[in-house]
């Protein structure tokens, strides 16, 4: 993509109404645009990054047998009444059609997925099974002031798993946990993320959150000094004991929940009569687990963890482009050739082909935060100056060896 | 994908509450699930097909310079008041947040894209330019009884283009028209689709629709017998004259609108003060075009055009899998090997590995509608019996030559 063609432009201004560093930087760098509090547009750069994240998640969900579907955003009132959540779920946006029919906008999809699965699951032979989607969610938040970290509308990956018994759910829950760690590793935030015990509802004592340390986080977590597992405030007893290693010492950290996994048990299979016939012909309730990751929140959290005062610093796996190519001092024709060559090799390049000063181009490259900066000028001759974002070290490389270095 | 693992199952029953053949077949074959009138889930097979369609569209939008973004579903009331559509746009679902803020759910996105573009377009150098998205739309329909052909929620590709003058919009409009024909050709419905003149609003006399002939269509179009261009009912004069070739004879056809293109002109640039500075320093309004395609409706229309009494008949470009592999008479081990081999070669195969009768497997393959049926039995020896959906002719082929035949 040539920068002269790219829709968004960088801005020197700090957006006045953004509190979180991630949203300030994403707005300044032209990744997102704020429509109103908690409502954002993903601009071309932002969508490309969100798609990288979504595909990392998809890959892991597919590996644990999840099948992707797309459930509707409109959830009919009767389904939310059946689960007794129409009145009790605070965050629902509610609306009425011209025919008088009422809906809530999907904030989570147990009420859609449970009756759906009931149509297809008949016997123990159909279990276990899991369905997921990456879909637009809506939350009627009282306040939405943390930028993309807490929004009224966002893409979410929600996975639902269905099991014959609690033991099989336990087995799958561990698989999801491992998949989540791989996702957070590929997104570059694993080291800052704590597996966090939270309250679990009726079916199990605990649910679990993945909480990433950041000053912009709205949560406080209690992190075991010995094993780095955490508990959230809801379940902190007067005296701390780590549920994982029984350690007694902890630190308090500000954090943001980037994922959660929850054993729902029969919470939704009971109201929706979701049962299966076992080997002995008995009718038994299906045991359900649910597992969420918010895409924009994860995007924002990656930025919270990976940035400096100059701008974004994308981990390789999620960067919208691998490299930022800059042409200086009338080296445009040479840069054009390199750009075409890299495109033909399948390297994703953002090419700053503007007529602008070196200082402006360098500043914008730092702000955009791609992993590699490629500089072509009269000084670099037939070679290209390569620099990693966040490093001051530069290196002159041949075009032939470039792909191997940056891909 | 193995059929024993696939979530959805086929059904012999015709859904009682579906009128359109497309939705009956898509439901019976396990592609979609009806949640309530006008609200559907895309099941794994349906989502895979919708993604194929979406990627065909993406490919064409990218080729005409469209940049993909993702605009929000929540549109703040003040923006719809600015364009005077809050009260006049019938199909809006409206809702209110806990903070009292009001929104409509996006039925179309001029009110989001116009103020967005205003932030980035400054001068004639930034024009022309186009942005698109494939995003969930909501329409508060009074009636929704044509299955996926008219729904209250659906994925839509909406493209918006921005120009310095009407002439440049005219130029781009023709590009979009050609892109649309390529999309409908790849989706297998070009031959049944008519370029249709419709009313155009204040800026131009006409807008244009792409109307596909089908008995399930809710529109009536007047098709020129000479050149196959059509006009819709809104603009039919007392005497017919084809706006394209001036032909005087026409036929009336039932049809469904699968796409539309519209010259908005200054309809939205005026209320949103979207202007640019020209070469002479004058401030001029940006000229806008908009171009839509509904994904689920296109999916349903493809089925309306391509089916028989046995089931779906997907055109190659949109089929969720290229081939339906069936193992009979204890040929399971051989079929397993063929399945693994084809997967390794990148061929998309749906593998019926169930313990079921030949009749049941054949019927389900016809219902699912994949372009090729591959049969492995004791009779086929080391070879595979290949049959195209909709043909009775079978052919025995070697595994080595299979990919070339079906890919």
Of B83 and A218, the structure prediction assigns the larger pLDDT to B83
In the block, tokens 């050739």 appear at: A337
pLDDT of residue B392: 93
B275 touching A (Cβ < 8 Å):
no
pLDDT of residue B8: 84
Q: Which of B9, B32, B52, B74 to mutate to test the interface with A (most CBs of A within 10 A)?
A: B74
- Radius of gyration for chain A, computed over Cα atoms and rounded to the nearest angstrom: 24
A200: helix, coil or strand?
coil
The pLDDT tens digits for A85-100 are 999 999 999 999 999 9
Of A51 and A400, the structure prediction assigns the larger pLDDT to A51
Quick one: average pLDDT of B183-202?
A: 96
Counting residues of chain B whose pLDDT is more than 90, the rounded percentage is 88
Comparing CB atoms, the residue among B75, B131, B142 nearest residue A7 is B131
Q: Which of B7, B11, B348 to mutate to test the interface with A (most CBs of A within 10 A)?
A: B7
Domain ranges of chain B: 21-308, 323-406
Closest alpha carbon within chain A to B144: A99
Query: Which residues in B lie closer than 8 A to residue A63 (C-beta atoms)?
Result: none
Cβ–Cβ under 8 Å, residues A210 and A193: yes
Q: Do A95 and B95 touch (CB under 8 A)?
A: yes
B67 touching A (Cβ < 8 Å):
yes
Q: Do B69 and A138 touch (CB under 8 A)?
A: no
Quick one: average pLDDT of A141-170?
A: 95
In Å, how far from its chain's centre is CA B359?
A: 33
- Convert A325-348 into a string of H (helix), E (strand) and C (coil): EEECCCCHHHHHHHHHHHHHCCCC
Query: Which residues in B lie closer than 8 A to residue A97 (C-beta atoms)?
Result: 93, 140-141, 152
Tell me the CATH number for domain B323-406.
3.40.50.800
A237: CB partners within 8 A, 6+ apart: none
pLDDT score of B13 more than 80:
no
The pLDDT tens digits for B60-80 are 999 999 999 999 999 999 999
DSSP-derived secondary structure letter, B383: S
Q: Nearest to residue B347, comparing CAs of B395, B386, B391, B302?
A: B386
Quick one: average pLDDT of A305-321?
A: 97
Classify the C-alpha dihedral A351-A354-A358-A361 as positive or negative: negative
B259: CB partners within 8 A, 6+ apart: B180, B183, B184, B209, B210, B291, B292, B293, B298
Quick one: average pLDDT of A34-57?
A: 97
pLDDT score of B304 more than 80:
yes
Closest alpha carbon within chain A to B113: A41
pLDDT of residue A237: 81
pLDDT of residue A202: 83
Query: Which residues in B lie closer than 8 A to residue A98 (C-beta atoms)?
Result: 90, 140-142
Counting residues of chain B whose pLDDT is more than 70, the rounded percentage is 100
pLDDT of residue A121: 83
Query: Which residues in B lie closer than 8 A to residue A43 (C-beta atoms)?
Result: 69
Q: Which stretch of B12-26, B258-272, B366-380 has the lowest confidence by average pLDDT?
A: B12-26
Could you tell me if residue B332 is left (phi over 0), alpha (psi between -120 and 50 degrees) or otherwise beta? alpha
Looking at the complex, report in whole angstroms how far the Cα of residue A105 sits from the nearest Cα belonging to chain B: 10
Fold category of A21-220+253-308 in CATH: BirA Bifunctional Protein; domain 2 (3.30.930)
pLDDT score of B201 more than 90:
no
Q: Is B28 exposed, middle or buried (0-12, 13-18, 19+ CB in 10 A)?
A: buried
The pLDDT tens digits for A10-45 are 877 777 788 899 999 999 999 999 999 999 999 999
The band of B190, judged by pLDDT with boundaries at 50, 70 and 90, is: very high
Comparing CB atoms, the residue among B90, B119, B136 nearest residue A73 is B136
pLDDT score of B102 more than 90:
yes
The pLDDT tens digits for A283-299 are 999 999 999 999 999 99
Q: Which of A10, A27, A72, A122 to mutate to test the interface with B (most CBs of B within 10 A)?
A: A72
Quick one: average pLDDT of A118-127?
A: 91
The band of A269, judged by pLDDT with boundaries at 50, 70 and 90, is: very high
pTM above 0.90, yes or no: yes
Quick one: average pLDDT of B230-251?
A: 93
Interface confidence, given as ipTM, is 0.97
Query: Which residues in B lie closer than 8 A to residue A72 (C-beta atoms)?
Result: 35, 39-41, 153
Taking the alpha carbons at both ends of chain B, their separation in whole angstroms is 17
Question: Of the ranges A2-6, A56-60, B8-12, which is most confident?
Answer: A56-60
pLDDT of residue A11: 78
Comparing CB atoms, the residue among B68, B76, B129 nearest residue A35 is B76
CB pairs under 8 A between A and B: 134
Interface of B with A in 103-162 (CB under 8 A): 105, 112, 116, 119-120, 129, 131, 135-136, 138, 140-143, 152-153
The band of A171, judged by pLDDT with boundaries at 50, 70 and 90, is: very high
A93 touching B (Cβ < 8 Å):
yes
Q: Quick one: B21-308 is in which CATH superfamily?
A: Bira Bifunctional Protein; Domain 2 (3.30.930.10)
Of B255 and B14, the structure prediction assigns the larger pLDDT to B255
How do strand A230-232 and strand A250-265 relate by DSSP bridges?
unpaired
pLDDT score of B22 more than 80:
yes
Cβ–Cβ under 8 Å, residues B92 and A96: no
Looking at the complex, report in whole angstroms how far the Cα of residue B290 sits from the nearest Cα belonging to chain A: 17
pLDDT of residue B122: 84
pLDDT of residue B389: 97
The pLDDT tens digits for B313-365 are 999 999 999 999 999 988 999 999 999 999 999 999 999 999 999 999 999 99
Comparing CB atoms, the residue among A99, A136, A140 nearest residue B73 is A136
């Amino acid at each position: 993509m040539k920068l002269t063609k790219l829709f968004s432009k960088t801005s020197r201004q700090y957006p006045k109404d953004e509190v979180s560093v991630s949203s300030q930087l994403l707005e300044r760098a032209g990744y997102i645009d704020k429509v109103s509090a908690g409502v954002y547009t993903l601009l071309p750069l932002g969508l490309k990054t969100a798609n990288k994240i979504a595909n990392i998640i998809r890959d892991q969900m597919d590996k644990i047998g999840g099948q992707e579907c797309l459930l509707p955003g409109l959830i009919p009132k009767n389904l939310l009444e059946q689960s007794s959540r129409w009145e009790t779920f605070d965050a629902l946006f509610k609306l009425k059609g011209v025919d008088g029919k009422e809906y809530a906008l999907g904030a989570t999809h147990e009420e859609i997925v449970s009756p759906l699965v009931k149509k297809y699951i008949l016997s123990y032979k159909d279990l276990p099974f899991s369905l997921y989607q990456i879909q637009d969610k809506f939350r009627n938040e009282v306040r939405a002031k943390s930028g993309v970290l807490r929004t009224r509308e966002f893409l979410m990956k929600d996975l639902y798993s269905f099991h014959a018994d609690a033991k099989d759910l336990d087995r799958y829950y561990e698989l999801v946990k491992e998949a989540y760690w791989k996702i957070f590793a590929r997104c570059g935030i694993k080291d800052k993320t704590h597996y966090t015990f939270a309250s679990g509802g009726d079916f199990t004592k605990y649910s679990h959150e993945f909480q990433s340390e950041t000053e912009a986080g709205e949560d406080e977590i209690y992190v075991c000094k010995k094993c780095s597992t955490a508990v959230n405030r809801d379940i902190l007893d007067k005296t701390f004991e780590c549920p994982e290693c029984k350690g007694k010492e902890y630190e308090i950290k500000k954090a943001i929940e980037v994922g959660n996994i929850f054993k729902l048990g029969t919470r939704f299979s009971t109201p929706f009569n979701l049962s299966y016939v076992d080997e002995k012909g008995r009718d038994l309730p299906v045991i359900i687990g649910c597992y969420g990751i918010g895409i924009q929140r994860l995007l924002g959290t990656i930025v919270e963890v990976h940035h400096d005062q100059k701008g974004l610093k994308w981990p390789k796996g999620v960067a919208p482009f691998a490299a930022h190519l800059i042409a200086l001092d009338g080296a445009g024709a040479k840069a054009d050739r390199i750009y075409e060559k890299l495109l033909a090799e399948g390297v994703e390049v953002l090419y700053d082909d503007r007529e602008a000063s070196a200082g402006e181009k360098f500043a914008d490259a730092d702000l955009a935060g791609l992993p590699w900066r490629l500089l072509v000028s009269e000084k670099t001759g037939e070679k290209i100056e390569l620099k990693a974002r966040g490093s001051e070290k530069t290196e002159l490389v041949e075009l032939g060896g470039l792909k191997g270095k940056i891909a």
